[in-house]
């Protein structure tokens, strides 16, 4: 007698069970894959925003009482963000005088400061910062002369967002970071006169 080429009932049941297991496991694996991808890209954007605030704060702290320091700071932040964060995910920049104890802006909040700050919004087509009319913190108002204890602190705040492509984890998440540094003290000289 020749063996039968027809599958037996046991083989049919195991193929059916494999199909059911695949139907259960595949969506879980797909969600895990897309979760890793989405959160990896979000953390990359978040890290880039953090790096941009540090870059801006280093520049601002090294330019005490220098006219146009806020524009040079904004340019450094933009250069750091330009190739690392999608242009649609960048929102605002604030360069501000920081309270030495709290690190908060002395004139309000990061996005609502009312004095001693410069605010910028992202100009997506030009991939650069555009100044927002409002309060200023002029270079001549900075305390950076003489005693280190009397030197101002400068802060750089950047806000952005990450839009989830799959929508599995919501629509978007706000990303923000702030860096605070003390202004480099200047020796008493003509740049320190009122």
Mean pLDDT by 10 residues, the chain (194 residues): 55 70 85 88 94 97 94 97 90 96 93 95 95 94 81 96 85 95 80 62
Q: Residue 3 falls within a domain, yes or no? A: no
pTM of the model: 0.84
Contact indicator for 183, 62 with CB cutoff of 8 Å:
no
CA separation, residue 45 to residues 59, 71, 85, 160 (Å): 21, 23, 5, 9
Q: Which is it for strands 128-131 and 153-163: parallel, antiparallel or unpaired?
A: unpaired
Q: Residue 8 falls within a domain, yes or no? A: no
Q: Residue 1 falls within a domain, yes or no? A: no
What pLDDT is attached to residue 26?
A: 86
Q: Residue 5 falls within a domain, yes or no? A: no
Place of tokens 């996005």: 111
What pLDDT is attached to residue 21?
A: 82
What pLDDT is attached to residue 8?
A: 55
Q: Residue 145 falls within a domain, yes or no? A: yes
Q: Which residues pair with 98 in a beta bridge?
A: 105, 153
Q: Residue 169 falls within a domain, yes or no? A: yes
Tokens coding 106: 């002395």
What pLDDT is attached to residue 17?
A: 77
Q: Residue 7 falls within a domain, yes or no? A: no
- How crowded is residue 47: how many other Cβ atoms within 10 Å of its Cβ? 14
Q: Residue 4 falls within a domain, yes or no? A: no
Residue 8: what are its φ and ψ, rounded to 5°? Answer: -85, 170
**Domain that residue 40 falls in:** 15-192
- How crowded is residue 155: how many other Cβ atoms within 10 Å of its Cβ? 26
Tokens coding 189: 């000289």
What is the count of structural domains for the chain? 1
Place of tokens 């989830």: 164
Counting Cα atoms < 13 Å in the Cβ hemisphere of 11 gives 4
């Amino acid at each position: 007698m020749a063996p039968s080429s027809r599958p037996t009932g046991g083989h049919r049941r195991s193929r059916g069970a494999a199909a059911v297991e695949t139907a259960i496991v595949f969506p879980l694996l797909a969600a895990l894959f897309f979760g890793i991808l989405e959160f990896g890209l979000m953390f990359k954007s978040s890290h880039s925003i953090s790096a941009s605030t540090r870059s801006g704060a280093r520049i601002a702290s090294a330019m005490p009482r220098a006219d146009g320091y806020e524009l040079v700071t904004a340019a450094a932040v933009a250069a750091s963000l330009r190739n690392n964060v999608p242009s649609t995910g960048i929102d605002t920049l604030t360069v501000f005088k920081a309270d030495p104890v709290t690190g908060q802006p002395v004139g309000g909040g990061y996005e609502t400061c009312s004095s001693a700050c410069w605010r910028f919004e992202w100009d997506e087509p030009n991939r650069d910062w555009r100044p927002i009319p409002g309060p200023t913190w002029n270079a001549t108002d900075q305390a950076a002369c003489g005693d280190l204890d009397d030197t101002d602190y400068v802060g750089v705040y950047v806000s952005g967002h990450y839009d989830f492509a799959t929508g599995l984890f919501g629509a978007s998440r706000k990303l923000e970071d702030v860096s605070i540094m003390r202004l480099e003290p200047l020796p008493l000289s003509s740049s320190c006169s009122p």
